[in-house]
Amino acid sequence: MVTSRAAMASAQEEAPPLLPTPLEVRALQQPEKVVMRKNSLGRDKHEVLTDARVLILYTGGTFGMAPDAVGTLHPKSGFLEQKVKEMDEFKFGGMPKVTIIEWEDPIDSSDMSPADWGRIAQTIEEHYWDYDGFVVLQGTDTMAYTASALSFMLESLGKLVVISGAMIPLHFPHSDARRNLIMSVLCAASLEIPEVCIYSNDKLLRGNRTTKTFNMAVDAFHSPNHPVLALTGVETILEHGLILPYPRRRAFTKLHTNICVFHLVPGFDDDCITAYIEKHKRDQPGASAKAMVQLLT
């Protein structure tokens, strides 16, 4: 089928315009009450971030994968630090200073465990007073779980912790990793948000309200039941009315993992719940009150 230029132009003219997001609509309607507009660095124009310091913690995942001798992708320690040194964006005079800590044995997203969450929280606790913000890079499949866990483990957080990753490894030229990394660092250095957030595809989302909704698109993360905290584009649009207030801080690194999730479907046998609780009583006498059962309908 051959389409003429005139037909293509006509189709483009008839195409409906792209609709603004709800946050952009509110920004236009009530800019003085709802949002704080800044440039893409999150600061006033011409303001630089050379005094800001950001710690990047790389735990593994697709972000830093590199091909081996046969072309199979694996998380690789040392890869991220080398790539950051090569990136011109981090040589720009207005960029914050970054320090990179890479796990010696980076893990796949599916291997992320509560013990690893404790390890991440401990690292942030140890370096808390040395940096203005933190960026944690990991695999996307369990990123929402990590963000939610850290939001409760890092009690009374007073700095922004950004969890980010990539759907396409930084190794490839068409990767989404590059912008996710740069903007995560800029957000961590400049935005006054005392929370654990997820950054993905120009959106900063509350960590414990975010879920991965797509596996085959770079716009993989959304917060269905909570507005976006910030949009990063030509300007950074921050919905400061939703940002949590600054609290007192304390880090938790020990988690109770004896949790069972039951998905209720028609015909579900409630004896399954009873059996689980009874087994918990036998395995840990006197600890039945600690059994946690979450019913999802």
- Considering 59, 62, 142, 232, which one is annotated as catalytic? 62
**Cα three-residue angle 82-84-88, rounded to 5 degrees:** 125
Nearest CA-CA partner of 107 in 57, 173, 162, 160? 57
The one-letter code for the residue type at 282 is: R
**At residue 14, what are phi and psi to the nearest 5 degrees?**
-85, -15
Q: Are strands 53-60 and 97-107 parallel, antiparallel or unpaired?
A: parallel
How is the chain split among helix, strand and coil, in percent rounded to 5? 35, 25, 40
Query: Is 62 annotated in the active site?
Result: yes
Q: Is 210 annotated as contributing to ligand binding? A: no
Residue 166 burial (C-beta neighbours within 10 Å; 0-12, 13-18, 19+): buried
Nearest CA-CA partner of 94 in 163, 39, 137, 162? 39
The set of residues, in sequence order, having a beta carbon less than 8 Å from that of 282 and lying 6+ positions away, is none
Nearest CA-CA partner of 220 in 180, 183, 252? 180
User: Which one-letter DSSP state was computed for residue 158?
Assistant: -
Is-contact 184 95, C-beta < 8 A?
no
Q: Is 269 annotated as contributing to ligand binding? A: no
Name residue 37's beta-bridge partners.
Answer: 237
Q: Is 223 annotated as contributing to ligand binding? A: no
User: Which one-letter DSSP state was computed for residue 264?
Assistant: -
Q: CA 114, CA 56: separation in Å to the nearest integer?
A: 20
User: Which one-letter DSSP state was computed for residue 71?
Assistant: S
Residue list, annotated binding site: 109, 140-141
Q: Which residues are catalytic?
A: 62
Residue list, annotated binding site for substrate: 109, 140-141
